[in-house]
Amino acid sequence: MSFFAALTAAAQAHFGEKPRLVVGIVVDQMRWDYLSRYYDSFGPDGFRRLIDQGFSCNNCNINYVPTVTAIGHASVYTGTTPAYHGICGNNFYIDGKKTYCCADSTVQPVGSNSPKGQMSPHNMVATTIGDQLRLHTDFHSKVIGVSYKDRAAILPAGHSANAAYWLDLKNRCFITSTYYMESLPEWAKAFNKKLVEDKEFKKLGQDIGLSPHCGTITTDMAIAALQGEQLGKGDHTDMLCVSYSQTDVIGHKYGTRGQNTDDAYLQLDRDLARLLKALDDQVGRDNYLLFLTADHGAAHNWKFMQEHRLAAGPWNSGEMKERVYEALENDMGDGRDCIADIMDYRIFLNWDKIHQQGLITADMPHMVLNEVTKELDVCFAAVYSDLATSALPPLLRDRALMGYYPGRSGDIIFFPKPSYYEFGSWSSPTGTTHGEWNPYDAHIPCLFYGWKVRHGETSRTVSITDIAPTVCQMLHIQQPDACTGEPITEITE
């Protein structure tokens, strides 16, 4: 065989090789430094197996704002940012109406009668890894999403997924919607029957998200889906998307420090070990490609920071809104209801009210901006339409642009001082929240493990949007249709 013929044969063999299964894991609200904080407490078969035998990107960052759950999950799997995939918050506005990211009144719940089942990925305008995998195999590959949260199951799995399952707390079961199917498969019905009798679940009731046991149930369901759908057993590569949400619920309530958070991560470590063993047993230790990351991190509790003489503090969007109203009334004699909402450090103007009151619409965003910049705890602010030419520092400007989807993202964005955050519905006095550009919210774990992944690490800067193109290149399939990330060459070469 000639040299060139040998090269051709090697390339053909490489392109023909595929893992039997791809597994994506997102840990909600997991800061990157938790890997080292808990390393000595982790057992050998969970996180440490991924760290010690896999590849770690130690400087993986989120390259947009706001850093919230729905956006993070969509960005991991589409390989792009809200500017392209359209999921610009857990909630956002469409045609002036506040909209939940996955709400879909055209579908019905399956598995219960709860309106929580009226969900689908229809608001996401880009494809995912799973969509591209399904396209590549003429829809023979199976793609399944599993999570406590609906958005964390639905958005990763994508538009063409075979199923996404999320937890209905009221009825104590996993459900889906008619977007995917008309009735639950038998294995899911059997799982739910056992779940109803789960003693820990019964005891915790609606507070299951505040318990590490929520992660155990999510793992059980993921394993049930793995086995029930025989993932990794067919002729084509399948995909399982798993998201752990209890870490986020616990973080919002109890913060980044303390026994509750410690217990959550140590139990998650044990649950990961069980999931990895199930994957080993089902498809073989070297036959699946796995990645683990987070949708965002979290700030340390502001009181905790102040107790240690570190600059931090709370602010309240409702109070800021009242101050803006007061200033506008002094200047204009009106403007009381000109703000529809303040979410994720963005201001959504109420254009219907502004027009009804006959206010000067062209100047209104700048008039509000002028008041916002007077806030003591706000470092920078800009009108979205002015971003490209604004005086924001380049990093903030670029992340704001990448997080902006016209018609959905609002009118004004602002940036609090480091370690200052919204103190309200998403954070208790002892808890925390997220959403900002700072490393505590934007620096996340990024671990690859398994099929064709060598052991190692890099401190080169990579982005949350680089995960999808890395997986797609390893599978030799096309990247998602709005992908802006780049393959992580330390893993693909």
The percentage of the chain sitting over the pLDDT mark of 90, rounded to a whole number, equals 82
Residue 318, sorted as left (phi over 0), alpha (psi -120 to 50) or beta, turns out to be alpha
Name the pTM for this structure: 0.95
pLDDT tens digit sequence for 225-282: 999 999 999 999 999 999 999 999 999 999 999 999 999 999 999 999 999 999 999 9
Task: Determine which of 6-10, 154-158, 435-439 has the lowest per-residue pLDDT on average.
Answer: 6-10
Phi, psi (degrees; rounded to nearest 5) at 63? -105, 35
pLDDT tens digit sequence for 46-97: 999 999 999 999 999 999 999 999 999 999 999 999 999 999 999 999 998 9
Beta bridge partners of 385: none
Q: Which pLDDT band, with edges at 50, 70 and 90, does 318 fall under? A: confident
What pLDDT does residue 315 have? 86
Active site residue ranges = 69
pLDDT tens digit sequence for 421-452: 987 756 678 999 999 999 999 999 999 999 99
When pLDDT is averaged across residues 459-464 and rounded to a whole number, the result is: 98
Mean pLDDT of the chain: 93
